[in-house]
Structure 1
Amino acid sequence: MRRIEQFLIVAAGVMTGMLVFVSVCPSWQKTAASVGDSNDRPEAPVVKAISAPTAEPAASFVANSFCLVCHFDFDEEELALKHEVAGIGCERCHGESFRHRSDEANVTPPEILYPRERINPTCMMCHPRQDLRHLADHRPILEAALNLSEEKPTLNQDKKYCTACHGTKHRMNTRTIRWDKHTGVLLQEKN
């Protein structure tokens, strides 16, 4: 192939990538909107980054339908429903888990599993301390929250975890298989 053809192919690929990036990147969308031409047109209303939950799932919600094929009892589960209304699907916390959901034998673990000591710090990635400090009933939760980068967290059975009140049913009722939540290693197979 001649150099010019190679250059054109590479340039087309780079331009396509840039166009896709600009079209999906929120900060570029704001920049592009603010740079526009100088015609007299009204200012676009400012949209808040986080809006209050509504009764309907947010438009950006990624359907949980793949997960609900096997985890059918989660379609009415409180934690899943509240996150769905906020536009947050299973993938946000558990990863895409493509291999897990494609494994009919169900021996492949989800991408992200949560040992108890990682529950609070993970929840606090979206629900930060400063939002919970004023809630007296959340003090035990704040005490149990560890830093995500902590190498060897200690598991204290006396500490409270977010899932003790929120998402008490966000667990499989009947487990036919178990994985080590730290390593993802299969511990128990189906009978």
Structure 2
Amino acid sequence: MAQKLGKSIGRCLLCVVTLAAMFLASLCSCSPSGGKTAADENAEQFDETNPIGANAACYVCHMTFVKEELSKTHLKAKITCVRCHGVSAGHANDEDIGATKPDITFERNGVEAMCLECHKRHDVEESETELVCTDCHG
């Protein structure tokens, strides 16, 4: 009888330890970030006004863009790559570099129209060659 009692106590102890471990695991999986869910954090990461989140995938390959005047100026205003080029997940995840173009690309003759969506006017001196915004601004 003492042997059966010992086995019962052992099983109960095992159940208590297992339940305690499960409880602790559930506590660890809770978000310590003020109730933010994974979806909230994911949305912040891809928020186009969040320079780090929105551009992180771009900078993996395009590290030099951080130093370009056009990028620096727009980042100060919280305007990121995503704003003009779309999320471009296919482009960012393409292991065959350059095979998949960004969601939004611009031919040279379309650059000015895109810039003018936000920059309504720009007084620029006339030039002998046809300049587009990025010739001077990055």
TM-score by length of 2: 0.58
CA distance in 1, matches of 2:112, 2:126: 11
Aligned counterpart for 1:61 among listed residues 33, 40, 50: 50
**Amino acid paired to 2:117:** M
Q: Which residue of 1 aligns with 2:136?
A: 165
Aligned-residue CA RMSD (Å) = 1.9
**Amino acid paired to 1:159:** E
Q: Which residue of 1 aligns with 2:6?
A: none
Report the secondary structure of 1:79's partner residue: helix
**Amino acid paired to 1:86:** A
- CA offsets, 1:136-178, max 9 Å, x none? xx1549xxxxxxxxxxxxxxx93111111100xxxxxxxxxxx
CA distance in 1, matches of 2:126, 2:104: 25
CA distance in 1, matches of 2:134, 2:86: 19
Aligned residues: 87
CA distance in 1, matches of 2:108, 2:120: 18
Correspondences of 1:42-53 after superposition (within 5 Å): none
- CA offsets, 1:14-59, max 9 Å, x none? xxxxxxxxxxxxxxxxxxxxxxxxxxxxxxxxxxxxxxxxxxxxxx
Q: Which residue of 2 aligns with 1:31?
A: none
Task: Please identify runs of 4+ aligned residues in structure 1 that moved more than 2 A.
Answer: 60-63
Aligned counterpart for 2:113 among listed residues 107, 121, 135: 121
- CA offsets, 1:59-113, max 9 Å, x none? x334311100000111111110110000100011111101100111121111111
CA distance in 2, matches of 1:119, 1:88: 16
CA distance in 1, matches of 2:125, 2:111: 15
TM-score by length of 1: 0.42
Residues 85 and 92 (structure 1), Cα distance of their counterparts in 2 relative to 1, 3 Å cut: same
CA distance in 2, matches of 1:140, 1:161: 12
Structure 2: gaps of 5 or more residues? 1-48
Structure 1: gaps of 5 or more residues? 1-59, 142-156, 168-191
